[in-house]
Amino acid sequence: MIHTPVLTEEVLHYLDPKPSENFIDATIGQGGHAIEILKKNGPDGLLLGIDLDTSQIENSKLTTKEFKKRTILINDSYTNIKGIVEKENFRPVNGILLDLGMSSWQLENSKRGFSFQRNERLDMRYSLTYPLTAEKIINYYSKAEIEKILKDYGEEKFAKQIAEKIIEKEKTKSIESTYELKEIITKALPQRFQRQKIHPATRTFQALRIAINHELDNLKDFLPKAVEVLSSGGRLAVISFHSLEDRIIKNFFKQKEKENTVKILTKKTVTAGETELSKNPRSRSAKLRVIVKY
């Protein structure tokens, strides 16, 4: 499966990679954005790619192989960006990209149950070293705990009803697959909400993934470190995919601008144009915000 990175033209416009500048792709995934940056920052510019998923590091090795000498790939969390930069002596840092989206490979080939469109085990971990899985939450957490996860991380208005149905079902049989969970969620919602544009299971699957991988806490942890490692004039571009992430980014950027540390380059979020939307439907929820460090 070929992954189509979102907002590539917009990312290149705002990061503006120039010959021999250094960039960090903090969630390199399959290397879609990275390869475009590498085409522009030669002959001596480096790219440091980070990903928590070991399979994605292998995927990006293949994508970036023609630029192997200028690419450093690290299997780690983007929250450790400061330590990674110091260890690799990666200076100066002219730009950082953080793309918080799921890749096509993770959704369609990882077999970790990220998508309710495939019948897979309820795992949802980016790193298999994590002890917590979606299956454990669904089968061992209390009704109140499940409801809180769905409300806090999925902004799911039927969180209570879904949590009740999950507990009801797991009293008779453990819930192990994505299809089983999808069916429970659909039945928990009132009839009129079952045929909406967004599938009834979307918010629950999002909430579980965020909870398991500590995505919001990781984002809050990452942003100040990213600004710190950026060189003066360096740019930070962040692509988010839902309102919870976007709110964190927006508020952090505003605070840093107040402190006169950075300048916001995107007064409004940058979203995909009609051409991209028609080619890549996943880009519809992508939002880009960018700052430059003084």
**What is the C-alpha separation between 197 and 172, in angstroms, rounded?**
32
> Could you report the per-residue pLDDT of 119-144, keeping only the tens digit for each?
999 999 998 889 999 999 999 999 99
**Range 176-197 average pLDDT:** 88
Half-sphere exposure of 159 (CA within 13 A, CB side): 20
Here the tokens at position 289 are 């915000």
Q: Is this model's pTM higher than 0.85 or not?
A: yes
* Cis status of the peptide bond prior to 281, with omega within 30 of 0: no
Query: Would you state the pLDDT for residue 194?
Result: 67
Pick from 228, 220, 287: which is nearest to 248 by CA?
Answer: 220
Tell me how far apart the terminal alpha carbons of the chain are, to the nearest angstrom. Answer: 40
Backbone φ and ψ for 72, nearest 5 degrees, come out as -115, 125
1 falls in which pLDDT band (50, 70, 90)? very low
Query: Would you state the pLDDT for residue 15?
Result: 98
Structural domains for the chain: 8-106+215-293 (3.40.50.150), 111-213 (1.10.150.170)
> Could you report the per-residue pLDDT of 187-208, keeping only the tens digit for each?
999 887 766 778 899 999 999 9
> Could you report the per-residue pLDDT of 237-271, keeping only the tens digit for each?
999 999 999 999 999 999 999 999 999 999 999 99
Q: Would the pLDDT of 212 be above 80?
A: yes
Q: 262-264 and 235-240: which strand pairing?
A: unpaired
- Yes or no: say if 33 and 14 are a contact pair by the CB < 8 Å rule: no
